[in-house]
Amino acid sequence: VGLLVVAQSLLVWLSINFENSRTQEQLDTIAQSLIVDFRQAFRLHQQNLHAILWNEPSATQWREAATQLLRTEREFLRMERRDLQLVIEDRINSPFLPSKLAIAQHDWVGQGDDLACTASLRLGNVAYSHSYFIPGENGMGQEVLDLCVPIQTLGRTSGFMVSTLSLPRLLEKVVPTDVARSNEISFVESDGTRLARTGTLRGTGQFKAERLIDVHGVALRLRVESNRGLPDLIPNLTTALVLGLSLGLGGVVTLLARDIRKRAKVEAALAEALAVRHAMENSLVAGLRARDLQGCITYVNPAFCTMVGFAAAELVGQTTPYYWPPESVTEYRQRQARRMSEGSPPQAGFESMFIRRNGERFAVMIYESPLVDGSGKHTGWMSAILDISAQRKIEEMSRQQHERLQATARLATVGEMASLLSHELNQPLAAIASYAVGSLNLMDAQGSWSDDTPALLRQAAQRIAEQAERAGKVIKSVHDFVRRRQHAFESIRTDHLLEAVLPLVRLQAHKSGTRIEINTPSPAPKVVCDRTMVEQVLLNLTRNGIQAMEESVALAQRRLVITVAPAQDHWVSLQIMDHGSGVPADVQSKLFTPFFTTRSEGMGLGLSLCRTVIEQHGGRLDFENHVDANGKICGAVFRFTLSMEGASLRGKRAVLPPPKI
Ligand SMILES: Nc1ncnc2c1ncn2[C@@H]1O[C@H](COP(=O)(O)OP(=O)(O)OP(=O)(O)O)[C@@H](O)[C@H]1O
Ligand SMILES: [Mg+2]
């Protein structure tokens, strides 16, 4: 920028200088050519004056010739003929003489004529006087010169011819119009006083040239002054062009500098953002993995490398990565192809199994999303991978604990029912005993056997077998219930589910005189569930219902209604309604809290276990008090939902239908 400023200033200074010297040169040339013109004019004057006096004219001839000269040469104002004592003999004024000029008056005498005439005598030629001023009207006037020529008569000087030459008119005549248009031309004195001038405009004083014209002893100083002022700062087109271009260049340089500064700022911001991104990637605990559209790994973050135990360099570029378990490669490939062809991976993520470098298998949760570049083009897939092996372990432990708790609860239930069991088993055992005693008695009295005794014995043995089978069934149902079965989801009909728990329900119902009613559609809907768990839910709820009616309700009203009905969206609702006193308002909020109970012998685990089981199945457990026509609470309804066979459970929650009362 500094260089540019220096170059610019130098250029301007040089071009101004050049312009100045060119103007001065032009002025000098004009002055020089004017000098030549003036010399020529003076020479012509001399010749004309000599021509008048040629052949020693008579007074009349002189007058004619002088008049003629005054008419043709306008710069001469007057011509006089004088004797040797310079006394005027004859005088002729120019026809162009301004009347107001003092010279027009008859008695006007020129100054310095004596000296001029003396000089002319000495030279024998035209001599000039010093210039002097002839006043005119309103302070105006003219600067003039007198020219003196000795008049010769018969070889002797007989007088003088004095002609008055107007300097302004001389200037007007000699100076060409084009020169006068752009310059002021003047005769000046040595001190600079202007004597006479011509020119359209006054000179500005910036450019001037002075020359001396020496005419027979009189030196006239001619000054040419240009009316041009100082040249402009930008004197011509070329300079303007160069200046403009270099200013443009300057502008471009400035813009470039700004651009570079901006770029540097953006680069710094970018570097900072990159550093932050790297720091973030390095401190992330979730694994990140990017794959292109062909499934080839393009990026993995340090957390992912730590998770699988392979270095980034080993993984990038792979389509079948080392962390895929060898037995699952085909399945994973198909899964990947399916997801990519669908175009949108599951939002909720999906579970997978990876293998570490040391061979350990571990569960991961993968959240995948399309990778879209800055121009909006889909370039691949970005995955966030979470190692959920620790979580799975905790879940497994909790599941086992839960299972143990369930088993304990089952045992407790059975323990509670021990007296009922003994009562239930007592009947068949008593029957067996009496049939056995009867049979023994018959066998002892062998001598008195009638014809139908073997038939009676056979019938008794049959009854014993029936009663034993009945007792065996009771034992089996308890055994089935308590036994730890394989926990697995299976498709099962609801009536089969109910049948499995009914013997136990009836055991309890029998004791309190409760009637069990079952409403189930035909054919009964099939549900997908872990039957052991759901059986326990049914048993808990029916048990609660029976217990609720045990004390306060009249024997005739002890009714437990179990209703199975299909609900909307492929759900099946199971409803257990009792006719007890309902759930009191202060109990409602704590109902599902573990270990909350109002019964002295209760554990308070029944409902909390029920809700956990039903929620694990994706369903809902709810309750409601139902009221009779008088608005009085006349029982509680507990409902839960199970998914119907063939329904897709993912992302759906059961909506409970209104209770059927
Ligand atoms: N059908 C019902 N009618 C009225 N109250 C009920 C009903 N079912 C449960 N309750 C109330 O809810 C409480 C908690 O029931 P929950 O089944 O969880 O425990 P519990 O029956 O007391 O003990 P247990 O662990 O032996 O089942 C009961 O103590 C009772 O007060
Ligand atoms: Mg209970």
**pLDDT single digits (tens) 70-81:** 999 999 999 999
Pairing of the two strands 183-188 and 287-292: unpaired
Least confident of 197-211, 378-392, 541-555, 562-576: 197-211
* 12, 5 Cβ separation under 8 angstroms: no
Beta bridge partners of 184: 225
Region 623-649: mean pLDDT is: 88
Look at residue 652 and tell me whether its pLDDT is greater than 50.
no
Residue nearest to atom 5 of ligand 1 (CA): 583
Q: How far apart, in whole angstroms, are the C-alpha atoms of residue 610 and residue 98?
A: 142
| CA distance readout (Å), 145 to 87, 99, 105, 196 | 19, 19, 18, 11
Q: How far apart, in whole angstroms, are the C-alpha atoms of residue 61 and residue 389?
A: 148
Residue nearest to atom 7 of ligand 1 (CA): 544
Look at residue 639 and tell me whether its pLDDT is greater than 60.
yes
Q: Hey, is 129 helix, strand or coil? A: coil
> Counting atoms of ligand 1 from 1, which one is nearest the CA of 607?
18
> Counting atoms of ligand 1 from 1, which one is nearest the CA of 635?
3
Distance between Cα 91 and ligand 1 center (Å): 162
- For a mutational test of ligand 1's pocket, the pick from 559, 597, 614, i.e. the residue with the most ligand atoms closer than 8 A to its C-beta, is 597
Look at residue 651 and tell me whether its pLDDT is greater than 60.
no
Reading the block at residue 545, the tokens are 């219902």
Q: How far apart, in whole angstroms, are the C-alpha atoms of residue 237 and residue 265?
A: 41
Region 374-379: mean pLDDT is: 88
Q: How far apart, in whole angstroms, are the C-alpha atoms of residue 239 and residue 361?
A: 83
Pairing of the two strands 515-519 and 559-567: parallel
530 in ligand 1 pocket by Cβ < 6 Å? no
> If you average pLDDT over every residue of the chain, what do you get?
86
496 — pLDDT class (breaks 50, 70, 90): very high
> Counting atoms of ligand 1 from 1, which one is nearest the CA of 605?
25
pLDDT of residue 233: 67
* Alpha helical stretches, state H, 54-176: 59-72, 113-123, 167-174
DSSP labels, 308-335: HT--HHHHTT-SS-TTS-GGGHHHHHHH
Look at residue 522 and tell me whether its pLDDT is greater than 60.
yes
Q: Is 143 left (phi over 0), alpha (psi -120 to 50) or beta?
A: beta
Q: How far apart, in whole angstroms, are the C-alpha atoms of residue 196 and residue 140?
A: 11
**pLDDT single digits (tens) 417-467:** 676 677 667 778 888 988 898 888 888 887 777 888 888 889 889 989 988
364 in ligand 1 pocket by Cβ < 6 Å? no
pLDDT of residue 272: 95
The top-scoring range by mean pLDDT among 114-123, 249-258, 598-607 is: 249-258
> Counting atoms of ligand 1 from 1, which one is nearest the CA of 592?
18
C-beta atoms surrounding 92 within 10 Å? 20
Q: How far apart, in whole angstroms, are the C-alpha atoms of residue 560 and residue 637?
A: 10
Beta bridge partners of 575: 563, 639
Residues sharing a CB contact under 8 Å with residue 330, sequence separation 6 or more, in sequence order: none
Reading the block at residue 400, the tokens are 């086992």
pLDDT of residue 486: 61
Look at residue 525 and tell me whether its pLDDT is greater than 90.
yes
Beta bridge partners of 365: 351, 386
* Alpha helical stretches, state H, 186-236: none
C-beta atoms surrounding 556 within 10 Å? 8
Question: Does residue 523 have a cis peptide bond before it, meaning omega lies within 30 degrees of 0?
Answer: yes
636 in ligand 1 pocket by Cβ < 6 Å? yes
pTM over 0.85: no
**pLDDT single digits (tens) 47-98:** 999 999 888 888 899 999 999 999 999 999 999 999 888 888 888 989 988 8
Q: How far apart, in whole angstroms, are the C-alpha atoms of residue 323 and residue 262?
A: 46
**pLDDT single digits (tens) 8-62:** 888 888 888 888 898 899 999 999 999 999 999 999 999 999 999 888 888 899 9
- For a mutational test of ligand 1's pocket, the pick from 539, 607, 637, i.e. the residue with the most ligand atoms closer than 8 A to its C-beta, is 607
Residue nearest to atom 19 of ligand 1 (CA): 604
pLDDT of residue 448: 78
Q: How far apart, in whole angstroms, are the C-alpha atoms of residue 254 and residue 248?
A: 10
